[in-house]
C-alpha cells in the first residue's frame, strides 16, 4: 500500500513539474520607459511617443504588446499611423504580422 501511495505521489509530482515547464511565460525586461503626449486635452487626438529599452533583442515570431485603458478609442488607428524605430532607424510595418516585405514586422490593433 505504501508503494502505491508513493507511485501516485511521484506521478503527481512529475505531472506538476511538466505542466510548469511547458507553460512558462518568457518576458523580457523593459527599462527607461517614458511616454510623451503631444496634447493632454481629453477626447482629442494626440501623438503618443513611447520610448523604452529592452533587455534583449527581438527575434522572429516575438511579440511586443502595448495596452491602453479600455476607454481609449483605437478604431481610427491603422498600422500606417504607427512609426516604429529601433536605434533611430525607422522600420517599415505591415498591416499584419508576417505580411511585410521582410515578413517580420506587423501590427495588430484590437480593442
Q: Judge whether 23 lies within some domain.
A: no
Q: Is residue 6 part of a domain?
A: no
Instruction: Tell me the whole-structure pTM to 2 decimals.
Output: 0.58
Q: Select from 4, 8, 52 the least CA-distant residue to 30.
A: 52
What is the rounded distance in angstroms from the CA atom of residue 48 to the CA atom of residue 99? Answer: 25
Domain count along the chain: 1
Q: Which residue has the cell 501590427?
A: 107
**pLDDT reading at 53 higher than 60:** yes
Place of cell 484590437: 110
Residue 17 sits at the vertex; the CA angle it makes with 16 and 23, to the nearest 5 degrees, is 90
Is-contact 70 76, C-beta < 8 A? no
> Does some domain include residue 77?
yes
**Domain of 54, in residue numbers:** 29-91
> In 3-state terms, what secondary structure has residue 72?
coil
56-111: pLDDT as tens digits: 776 667 778 888 888 888 888 888 888 888 888 888 888 877 666 665 678 888 87
Task: Say if 15 falls within a structural domain.
Answer: no
57 falls within a domain: yes
Amino acid at each position: 500500500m505504501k508503494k502505491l501511495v508513493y507511485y501516485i505521489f511521484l506521478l503527481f509530482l512529475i505531472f506538476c513539474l511538466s505542466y510548469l515547464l511547458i507553460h512558462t511565460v518568457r518576458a523580457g525586461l523593459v527599462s527607461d520607459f517614458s511616454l510623451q503626449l503631444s496634447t493632454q486635452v481629453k477626447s482629442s487626438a494626440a501623438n503618443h511617443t513611447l520610448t523604452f529599452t529592452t533587455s534583449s533583442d527581438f527575434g522572429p515570431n516575438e511579440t511586443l504588446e502595448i495596452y491602453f485603458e479600455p476607454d481609449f478609442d483605437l478604431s481610427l488607428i491603422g498600422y500606417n499611423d504607427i512609426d516604429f524605430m529601433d536605434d533611430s532607424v525607422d522600420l517599415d510595418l505591415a498591416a499584419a504580422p508576417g505580411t511585410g516585405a521582410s515578413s517580420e514586422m506587423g501590427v495588430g490593433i484590437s480593442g
